[in-house]
Amino acid sequence: MRNLHPHSAEYLMDNHISNLVEELSKGDKKVLARCISIVENEGAGSEELLLQLMPNRQIPVVGITGPPGAGKSTLVSSLISFLLNKNKKVGILAVDPTSPFNLGSLLGDRLRMGIHFNHPDVFIRSIATRGSLGGLSSKIIEIIDVMKASDFDYIIVETVGVGQSEIEIAGIADTTVVVLVPEAGDEIQTIKSGIMEIADIFVVNKSDRTGADIFVKNLEQLVHSHQEKLWSPPVIKTVATDNTGIEELVRDIAKHQTLAVNTKRAFLLAEKAYYLIQNKRMKEVSKHDLVMQIEAVMNLPDFNIYSFIKNY
């Protein structure tokens, strides 16, 4: 805590934040929700809260990504059930798509996790992307660190699986799980190279469907062609609706944490630092103001977007 006068507003705020951080470390879920809200909305004391955090580096952050319809939310629900049976405490961040026009979040898929909402060892938070071009919430790094200052055994981040969110998750998660479905079999050769680079584990969900075995075989061959020395991403068949393959997935997540996480740590921290610096420098830029200013000049005959940006 800073050396401040004991009756100053700054001292009272610091003392308040210190109390929050202490209760947060004890696993108080109401305090956790409050701290996340402070950080997400940049409320009073948000910067001091982040500065006082002591995130537990040993808590694994597992990113779950993949195309819409792959069954990610159902898979996460099955993961929660399995981990609860092992007496683990689980925190979930579900990143929801946001309309670039009205910033409304679509939270319907979270209903699949509804059976866990009231469990004392589960914390589920949906956060909106709020127009982030990459598909991840601009505050997700800070929110994850708030959660890592609590008492979870696992933190799972489920992304919307569109745009660049699959790539961005690699800069946030210790282990990135890419979920695909057999219907993608005809497109196996068109999987973006970025996905091959960031996937630590592939899951072929709904593997009871026709063509699953062929898809898995083709994916394994593709993985082998991109194989690294220290870690070769396994391909796991799951049927999330009946928990098939979930135990194997948890086992491989733990194995990856043990064998491969240290090789990515500097990269992960650099990605986080870059993202935070970028957001801090862009803080004063209002998208609403940009819209208004562009509307005022975009029909001028000499309008040039690059000149507009240069002079902004």
**Residue 100: predicted pLDDT:** 44
Two structure tokens written together for 40 = 């997400």
**Residue 104: predicted pLDDT:** 41
Distance CA 220, CA 210 (A): 18
Distance CA 57, CA 190 (A): 36
Distance CA 116, CA 275 (A): 32
Q: Is 108 exposed, middle or buried (0-12, 13-18, 19+ CB in 10 A)?
A: exposed
Which run of H or E residues covers position 128? Answer: strand 122-128
CA angle 212, 66, 171 (to 5 degrees): 135
Which run of H or E residues covers position 203? Answer: strand 201-204
For residue 11, what pLDDT band results from cuts at 50, 70 and 90?
very low
Q: Which residue from 65, 60, 287 is spatially nearest to 176, judged by alpha carbons?
A: 65
First to last CA, the chain: 38
What average pLDDT does the segment 182-207 reach? 74
Taking the CA atoms of residue 115, residue 123, residue 198 and residue 133 in that order, the dihedral angle to the nearest 10 degrees is 100
Instruction: Decide if pLDDT at 242 tops 80.
Output: yes
Residue 259 near residue 230 (C-beta atoms within 8 A): yes
**CATH class of residue range 56-274:** alpha beta
Q: Which residue from 139, 149, 144 is spatially nearest to 54, judged by alpha carbons?
A: 149
Residue 201 near residue 63 (C-beta atoms within 8 A): no
What average pLDDT does the structure give for the chain?
Answer: 81
Residue 120 is classified by DSSP as T
In percent, how much of the chain has pLDDT > 90? 40
**Residue 261: predicted pLDDT:** 56
Distance CA 134, CA 281 (A): 17
Tens digit of each residue's pLDDT (9 = 90 or more) over 111-134: 556 678 889 999 999 887 654 544
Tens digit of each residue's pLDDT (9 = 90 or more) over 76-105: 999 999 999 999 999 999 887 654 444 444
For residue 183, what pLDDT band results from cuts at 50, 70 and 90?
confident
- The larger pLDDT score, comparing residue 68 to residue 308, is at 308
What are the structural domain ranges in the chain? Answer: 1-54, 56-274, 285-310
Tens digit of each residue's pLDDT (9 = 90 or more) over 269-286: 777 788 778 878 887 888
- Count of alpha carbons within 13 Å of 200, Cβ hemisphere only? 28
Q: How many CB atoms lie within 10 A of CB 221?
A: 11
Residue 97 near residue 191 (C-beta atoms within 8 A): no
